[in-house]
Structure formats: structure tokens, C-alpha cells
Amino acid sequence: MKKKTTFKKKFSKIASIVSLALISLHNKVFAEVVPEPGDGGEIRNSKIGQGVYKLVNDVTGTLQWVLPVVGACFIVYYVIRIQTGEEQDAMRYKKSIIRVLICIVVGVLAVTIINLISRYFA
């Protein structure tokens, strides 16, 4: 058991040092290889590109506040069910609360990533 933990510690240290070195090397050596993004090119200037960009911005902007509000409503519902229900059902509702929290975090992260990717074309 002790060998596994020492191996994991050594491996994590080596992996973090190597990844830090690669990141610093990437920032210094490869900085000029990739050009800065422009105005989005032909995709951004087309009518379809403009429409999709506006649609993505509207949907992601709406979902950023809808997801937490709906998730909070579900959490309140499950808390009420825990308080009014039997003890056997409480564990099921606690697991549901955890699932809702995970879904909120994943949803908001996905919306944020999509929003960032769509702004690349702006």
C-alpha cells in the first residue's frame, strides 16, 4: 500500500513538472506560429453565419440564467419532499439533489464554452 502512494506522489510530481515545462515552452517557442484570430472570415460575413452567431448568443445568454433558476426550483422541491416524506425516501432525494447540482454546473460550463467558441467568429 505504501509503495502505491509513493509511486502516485512521484508520478504526480513528475507529471506536473513536465506539463508546466511544456506549457512554458509552448508560450515562448510557439507563440508566433498560430496567427491571431481575425474578424471571423467568410463564415462570419455570410448571412447564415450571422444568423447562427446571433442564435447561439441568444440561446446561451438565456440558458445561463434559466439553468440555475430551474435547478434551484428542483432543489427546493426535493428539500420539501425530504422534510415531508419518510426516512427511506430521503436518501433518494438527496441523490437527486446532487444530480441536479451536477447538471447545473455541467450545463453552465457547457453554455460558457459554447459562448466562448462562438465569440471566436465575432
Domain-by-domain residue ranges, the chain?
A: 1-34, 39-120
Q: Report the alpha-carbon distance of residue 74 to residue 91 in Å, rounded.
A: 16
pLDDT at residue 47 in the model:
82
pLDDT of residue 74: 93
Report angle CA 52, 67, 53 to the nearest 5 degrees.
10
Pairwise CA distance, residues 65 & 86, whole Å: 33
5, with CB counted inside 10 A (0-12, 13-18, 19+), is exposed
Residue 37 — pLDDT band, cuts 50, 70, 90?
low
Q: What is the pLDDT of residues 103-120, one digit of tens each?
A: 999 998 988 888 888 777
DSSP E strands, the chain: none
What confidence tens digit (pLDDT) does each residue in 45-88 have?
Answer: 778 878 878 888 888 888 888 889 999 999 999 999 888 888 88
Give tens-digit pLDDT for 9-27. 666 667 666 665 555 555 4
- Quickly list DSSP for 90-117: HHHHHHHHHHHHHHHHHHHHHHHHHHHH
So what's the pLDDT on residue 12?
Answer: 67
Nearest of 107, 119, 14 to residue 64 by alpha carbon? 107
Q: What is the pTM of this model?
A: 0.58
What band does 34 get if pLDDT is binned at 50, 70 and 90?
A: very low
